[in-house]
């Protein structure tokens, strides 16, 4: 009878493992449950056809945000934000877990050396004399290695790989969200600083009117009513200054939080102006844009992992084989350990198949299949949510541009009305009431223009983010 050597058994096991069939179902990408075009009007579609505008995913955030100070603030956030740091650490963890699972495909080879000595009593010896028996062994071997005959370990490795890739996409999504959050916080601070400037200019103008009317009242040329009306405007401007000063402080705290470190004063914004202009991007087609978003790619990797887990659950219905083998030297004393004839080997294959488990394996397979169906639902939900985000942003983009243009015309008209009312009042043609009404209307229109400019810029940032830009 010919004895099969351990290394031959190991080679046979490797060949069987490589030729084994995987039981995971073939992945099929679900059809996106959204229309082929965005929910926009003809005017919106026309506004999207910007000549030469690239797709958002092709525009790096440094190209989209042209303000050098804002770029520096974003870089500071990328280096200090804790959410992004945790996302990066989760990637390292997922990568290590994948390496652990991948290592299960290969045998673990270990070396061992040991010795044993014991005294044999005289009553137990063959010659009636007590004796001391010793044994020294040195060897190399593998222990409980499972040849992957039915793809169980490969399926688990594939699932771990997809989890790792999903974590990487989650980090990209976190970075995109962070860039958008920093930009919106920065723009909010700029808008409130501009409102604060308007309030201070209004207070300065109203204070000058108050002093003028006070002098004319003392000279008997103005009434107490006009004086009180002017004073009410002064106090209203002071209220706005206090309100916007407090809001600016809150905005700075919010910016510091999202950045993860105090933002230097020289990097803080001044006002909403041309220096905060943003690059335009094209919307593209839903099928081209949505499937490239990090959150949707992450959901798809989770779905692929669920498919792989089904393969691992199916493999549990087949026998599981484990191999233990060792090759070494054995001797009763150290001097003879490395001499010819001291070689020894051990080979212990084992196969196991549960006969009765009260339906546990079948239930485990059912769980894996339900997890796959849940992952499909999550994937489709992510696509639908992304479609709505983009459609909403596109619809608002045109409307906000139209509102801003109309508001700018309103401000220009009210500024001319205020100038004429001031001239007529100083010429003694009209009362101060006309000046008061014109000034109030102009101040309110200027505040509305700041709000619309902020809303439009914030919408562009949101559109850039939901279209997959920012990485």
150 contacts: CB under 8 Å, gap ≥ 6: 20, 21, 22, 23, 314, 315, 318
Which residue reads 């439009």 in tokens? 456
Separation CA 59–CA 48 (nearest Å): 16
Architecture of domain 19-104+148-318+360-466: Up-down Bundle (1.20)
Q: What is the mean pLDDT of residues 126-144?
A: 78
pLDDT tens-digit series, residues 79-116: 999 888 898 888 888 889 888 888 888 888 888 887 77
pLDDT tens-digit series, residues 333-349: 666 677 776 778 888 88
274 contacts: CB under 8 Å, gap ≥ 6: none
Per DSSP, what are the bridge partners of residue 55?
282
Decide if pLDDT at 130 tops 80: no
Specify the pLDDT at position 308: 93
pLDDT tens-digit series, residues 299-335: 999 999 999 999 999 988 888 888 888 888 787 766 6
Distance of CA 315 to the CA centre of its chain: 34
Domain ranges of the chain: 19-104+148-318+360-466, 107-145+319-352
% of residues, the chain, pLDDT over 90: 34
Burial 338-356 (b: 16+ CB within 10 A, else e): eeeebeeeebeeeeeeeee
Specify the pLDDT at position 4: 40
Separation CA 337–CA 407 (nearest Å): 96
For domain 107-145+319-352, is the CATH number 2.60.120.620? no
Specify the pLDDT at position 299: 94
Which residue reads 């003694």 in tokens? 428
Torsion of CA 206, 211, 214, 219, to 10 degrees: -130
Tokens of 93: 């963890």
Q: What are phi and psi of 429, to 5 degrees?
A: -85, -45
- At what angle are helices 152-218 and 82-103 packed, to 10 degrees? 180
Separation CA 234–CA 209 (nearest Å): 9
Backbone dihedral region for residue 199 (phi beyond 0: left; psi -120 to 50: alpha; all else: beta)? alpha
pLDDT tens-digit series, residues 217-251: 777 777 778 788 888 888 888 999 999 999 999 99
Half-sphere exposure of 464 (CA within 13 A, CB side): 31
Specify the pLDDT at position 16: 42
80 contacts: CB under 8 Å, gap ≥ 6: 259, 260, 261
Give the helix ranges, DSSP H, for 65-151.
68-80, 82-103
pLDDT tens-digit series, residues 148-178: 888 888 888 999 999 999 999 999 989 999 9
Decide if pLDDT at 405 tops 80: yes
Q: Could you please report the per-residue DSSP string of 181-227?
A: HHHHHHHHHHHHHHHHHHHHHHHHHHHHHHHHHHHHHHTTSS-HHHH
pLDDT tens-digit series, residues 192-205: 999 999 999 989 98
How many other C-beta atoms lie within 10 A of the C-beta of residue 364? 17
Separation CA 286–CA 270 (nearest Å): 37
Q: Could you please report the per-residue DSSP string of 44-74?
A: HHHHH--TTPPBGGGS-HHHHB--HHHHHHH
Specify the pLDDT at position 19: 41
Q: Are 110 and 145 in contact (CB under 8 A)?
A: no
Tell me the helices (H) and strands (E) count for the chain, helix number first.
Answer: 11, 4
Which residue reads 């498919």 in tokens? 307
User: Taking all residues of the chain, what is their mean pLDDT, rounded to a whole number?
Assistant: 83
Three-state SS at 264: coil
**Residues comprising the chain, all counted:** 471
Specify the pLDDT at position 52: 54
Q: What is the mean pLDDT of residues 128-154?
A: 80
* Residue (of 87, 284, 225) closest to 166 by Cα position: 87
Strand ranges inside 338-425, DSSP E? 343-352
Measure Cα distances from 284 to 51, 131, 278, 380, 426 in Å: 13, 89, 18, 20, 57
Specify the pLDDT at position 40: 62
Specify the pLDDT at position 452: 93
pLDDT tens-digit series, residues 14-66: 444 444 445 788 898 898 888 877 766 544 554 454 545 677 777 888 888 88
How many other C-beta atoms lie within 10 A of the C-beta of residue 67? 20
Structure letter (DSSP) for residue 368? H
- At what angle are helices 224-259 and 152-218 packed, to 10 degrees? 160
Rg of the Cα atoms in the chain: 38
């Amino acid at each position: 009878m010919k004895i099969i050597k351990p290394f031959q058994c190991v080679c046979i096991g490797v060949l069987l493992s490589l030729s084994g069939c995987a039981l995971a179902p073939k992945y099929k990408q679900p059809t996106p449950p959204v229309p082929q075009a965005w929910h926009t009007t003809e005017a919106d579609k026309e506004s999207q056809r910007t000549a030469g505008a690239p797709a958002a995913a092709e525009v790096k955030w440094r190209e989209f945000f042209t303000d050098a100070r804002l770029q520096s603030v974003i870089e500071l956030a990328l280096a200090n934000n804790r959410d992004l740091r945790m996302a990066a650490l989760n990637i390292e963890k997922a990568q290590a877990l994948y390496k652990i699972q991948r290592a299960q495909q290969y045998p673990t080879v270990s070396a061992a050396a040991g010795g044993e000595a014991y005294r044999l009593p005289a009553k137990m010896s063959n010659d009636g004399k007590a004796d001391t028996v010793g044994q020294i062994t040195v060897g190399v071997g593998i222990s409980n290695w499972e040849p992957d005959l039915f793809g169980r370990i490969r399926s688990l490795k594939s699932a771990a790989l997809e989890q790792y890739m999903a974590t990487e996409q989650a980090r990209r999504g976190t970075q995109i969200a962070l860039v958008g959050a920093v930009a919106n916080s920065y723009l909010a601070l700029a808008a409130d600083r501009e409102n604060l400037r308007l309030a201070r200019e209004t207070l300065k103008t109203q204070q000058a009117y108050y002093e003028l009317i006070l002098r004319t009242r003392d000279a008997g040329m103005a009434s107490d009513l006009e004086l009180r009306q002017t004073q009410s405007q002064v106090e209203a401007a002071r209220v706005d200054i206090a309100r916007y000063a407090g809001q600016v402080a809150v905005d700075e705290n919010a910016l510091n939080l999202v950045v993860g470190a105090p933002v230097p004063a020289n990097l803080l914004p001044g006002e909403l102006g041309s220096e905060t202009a943003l690059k335009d991007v094209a919307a593209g087609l839903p099928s081209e844009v949505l499937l490239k978003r990090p959150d949707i790619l992450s959901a798809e990797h989770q779905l692929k992992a669920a498919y792989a887990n089904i393969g691992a659950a199916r493999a549990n219905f087949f026998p599981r084989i484990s191999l233990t083998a060792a090759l070494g030297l054995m001797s009763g004393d150290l001097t003879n350990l490395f001499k010819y004839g001291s070689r020894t080997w051990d080979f212990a294959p084992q196969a196991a198949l549960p006969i009765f488990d009260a339906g546990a394996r079948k239930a485990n397979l059912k769980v894996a299949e339900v997890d796959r169906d849940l992952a499909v639902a999550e994937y489709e939900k992510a696509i639908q949510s992304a479609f709505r985000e983009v459609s909403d942003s596109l619809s608002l983009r045109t409307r906000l541009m139209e509102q801003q243009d109309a508001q700018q015309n309103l401000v220009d008209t009210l500024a001319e009305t205020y100038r004429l009312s001031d001239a007529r009042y100083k010429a003694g043609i009209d009362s101060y009431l006309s000046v008061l009404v014109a000034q109030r209307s102009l101040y309110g229109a200027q505040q509305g223009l700041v709000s619309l400019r902020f809303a439009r810029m914030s919408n562009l940032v949101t559109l850039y983010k939901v279209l997959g830009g920012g990485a």
